[in-house]
Chain A
């Protein structure tokens, strides 16, 4: 082995010589980009704490070299991360800062993205009217058969997904509006370039919700399960938590308290993992009902103290 040691530097030098296109950009530029890319990567792994950390560093580095595009991208990513972690206030702050930049001529292309982000944030912060107003210009035109008149983009798909979620949340016994938007979404999805399994999973969840409303709980549970599988494959933490919550609530309606408790607990664990305090707090009420039904005083006590901790930050 020792006889090979002198060859190591030679090998490394040859390696360096064989490198592809060497990056000759200045160090601050490369460092800023490094943080930005790692932030995006951490977000895609649903590691929002690490993502926020990387992206804050990216923002600071881009600001230090006065790179407006970098600052804008960092802020959009930070807003997306804050929204995913349920921190709406921080998300809105980042969006506002990003909008100031996007008002400038070279950055107009980012405006629709920011509008969608703002709409998503308002909707999660229970400001439905504001969300709808922002969504309207982002939606594609639809033909009478429910198809979009142009080839949809991912941004439009995102807008229609949110619009469908709003339609489902509205109190409508017949679910006419929900059915309409679900049909549009289902027709739009296969035509959208760049769609992922996560988009399909979201569609399945809407279908499950509709099936639950139409009193077909078994179909609903199956669709939730299919969606869950897809989300698990993509390790999409917030989506898994949302699906488990919806499925748990359906099990509550069916009086399957044990299973409901199990699903809701799993969802709670994920919400706490990603530090989504509002998301975790929303789960506590159904969990209290479930444990009361099960007469599990010990668990109920735990949930109450968790609620206290989340509400008062203790």
Chain B
């Protein structure tokens, strides 16, 4: 019986060429790098770093989570490790501080949750301690200044708003003492006087010839006499107006007695506003940085989306806009 050759599946006859092996290695290598890059992101950047734990207690932890960063002088030095309820029903936060930043946290350091945490991403800021003070050890407790709730923020603003309101009221009272009718009358009379003066000056301007001729001109004499009478009349009117203005200034004088009290109140309001703005200012300083980061993020997203759009899986020739010139139009009318 002749020995028949068994058919072998074609896959067993194939051999990898060096090129194919290289391609395989390259592909696997690329994928491995991809995974590594994904793994080493910002969250895992401190994975192998030595750390200490600081404890702190809050009565409310609005917006705080295990992702909340801890910063000293704007540098991220750690994050919130855990949140739980303490025996006295306060919120117990365990803060991770990377060991290389430990020398910055001294016994006179204080922590504060950013004041605008109710509006955006919260941050726990720790003040750098003075070098003469002792370094806080692992598991030490640090005092924390709690953030303002929206209600408290509004409550802080209320006296300022009330101060402004009372100032406005005072101004309104002063303005009420000045009678608009009186002011109107004065303006009308001043206008009338001005017109008289204008007429007089017009008359004076229209005089022609030398002084000798003018003196000899009886018509001029008559006009001059009339002008002098008009001026005289105008002066009488001006005197009356001045008397009215004097009365008005007396009124204002009476009102001005309230100015010192008003100024003092306004000063208090300004001081309050200033204090509030100072506290808000610290938070606001981070805003440009935030905007820049957002910009970068948006640009990256834009590029990624463009890449996706161009990729073979999502792109379609139909959707692509490549025509740059409108085609010749059949004349429609």
**Which residues on A are within 8 Å of B, measured CB to CB?**
9-10, 12-13, 15-23, 33, 36-38, 40-41, 43-44, 73, 76-77, 80-81, 84, 113, 116, 120, 123-124, 154-155, 157-158, 161-162, 165, 194, 198-199, 201-202, 236, 238-239, 242
CA of A38 to CA of B308 in the docked complex: distance in angstroms? 19
Q: How far does the alpha carbon of A9 sit from the alpha carbon of B304 in the complex, in Å?
A: 11
Chain A residues with Cβ below 8 Å from B325 are 40, 73, 76-77
Are B311 and A16 in contact, with the CB atoms below 8 A?
yes
Task: Name the distance in Å between B292's Cβ and chain A's nearest Cβ.
Answer: 18
Given contacts A9-B38, A116-B328, A236-B332, A16 and B304 within 8 Å (CB-CB): yes
Q: Are B304 and A165 closer than 8 Å at their CB atoms?
A: no
A37 touches B330 (CB 8 A): no
Identity of the chain A residue whose Cβ is nearest the Cβ of B41 in the assembled complex: A9
Residues of A with C-beta under 8 A to B38: 9-10, 13
From the candidates A16, A155, A236, A238, name the one contacting B328 in the complex (CB within 8 A). A155
Query: Which residues from 281 to 333 on chain B have a C-beta closer than 8 Å to any C-beta of chain A?
Result: 304, 306-308, 310-315, 321-333
Q: How far is A124 from B332 in the complex, measured between Cα atoms in Å?
A: 10
Complexed CA–CA distance, A158 and B327 (Å): 10
Does A199 lie within 8 Å of B330, measured CB to CB?
yes
Residues A158 and B328 in contact, CB atoms below 8 Å apart: yes
Main secondary structure of the interface of B (DSSP, over half): loop
Query: Taking each of A13, A15, A33, which has the highest tally of chain B beta carbons within 10 Å of its own beta carbon?
Result: A15
Complex CA–CA separation, A105 to B306 (angstroms): 36
B261 at the binding interface (Cβ < 8 Å): no
A201 to B331, CA, bound (A): 11
Q: Report the minimal beta-carbon distance from A308 to chain B, rounded to whole angstroms.
A: 24
Docked Cα-Cα span, A225 to B323, in Å, equals 31
In this complex, what residue of A is CB-closest to B321?
Answer: A37
Residues of B within 8 A of A38 (CB): 321
Can you list 21 A-B pairs with a CB-CB distance of less than 8 A? A12-B308, A15-B311, A19-B310, A21-B310, A23-B310, A33-B324, A38-B321, A43-B326, A44-B326, A73-B324, A77-B326, A80-B326, A113-B328, A116-B328, A120-B331, A157-B330, A158-B331, A162-B331, A198-B330, A202-B331, A242-B333
Task: Tell me the bound Cα distance from A36 to B321 in angstroms.
Answer: 9
Cβ of B326: which chain A residues have Cβ within 8 Å of it?
A: 40, 43-44, 76-77, 80-81
Q: Interface size class for chain B? A: 20 to 34
- Residues of A contacting B332 in the complex (Cβ-Cβ under 8 angstroms): 84, 202, 236, 238-239, 242
A residues in contact with B333, CB < 8 Å: 124, 165, 238, 242
Contact B304 A157 (CB under 8 A): no
Q: How far is the CA of A33 from the CA of B306 in the complex (A)?
A: 14
In the bound complex, what is the Cα–Cα distance between A158 and B323 (angstroms)? 19
Cβ-neighbour of B312 out of A20, A41, A43, A161 (below 8 A): A20
Residues of B within 8 A of A19 (CB): 307-308, 310-312
- B45 at the A/B interface (Cβ < 8 Å)? no
Give Cα A124–Cα B312 distance, bound, in whole angstroms. Answer: 46
For B306, list chain A residues within 8 Å (CB): 23
| Contact status A202-B315, CB under 8 Å | no
- Are the CB atoms of B324 and A36 closer together than 8 Å? yes
Closest to A21 in B: B310
**B311: which A residues are within 8 A, CB to CB?**
15-16, 18-20
4 other A-B residue contacts (CB within 8 Å) besides A12-B308, A242-B333: A19-B307, A41-B321, A165-B331, A202-B332
| Residues on the B chain within 8 Å of A155, using CB | 328
Which residues from chain A contact B30 at a C-beta distance below 8 Å? 17
Partner of B330, one of A15, A17, A123, A158: A158
User: What is the bound-complex CA distance between A154 and B327, given in angstroms?
Assistant: 9
Across the interface, do A18 and B312 meet the contact criterion of CB distance under 8 Å? yes
Q: Are B310 and A20 in contact (CB under 8 A)?
A: yes
Q: Is B34 part of the contact surface with A, judged by Cβ < 8 Å? A: yes
Given contacts A20-B310, A120-B331, A154-B328, contact A12 B321 (CB under 8 A): no
CB < 8 Å: which of A10, A22, A43 contacts B310? A22
Contact B308 A15 (CB under 8 A): yes
Q: Is the CB of B322 within 8 A of A37?
A: yes
Which residues of B are found within 8 Å of A40, using beta-carbon distances? 321, 323-326
B322 nearest CB neighbor, chain A only: A37
CA distance A43 to B321 in the complex (A): 12
Residues of A within 8 A of B314 (CB): 15
A19 to B326: give the CA distance in the assembly, Å. Answer: 29
In angstroms, Cα B326 to Cα A238, docked, is 15
- In the assembled complex, the Cα of A22 lies from the Cα of B331 at a distance in Å of 39
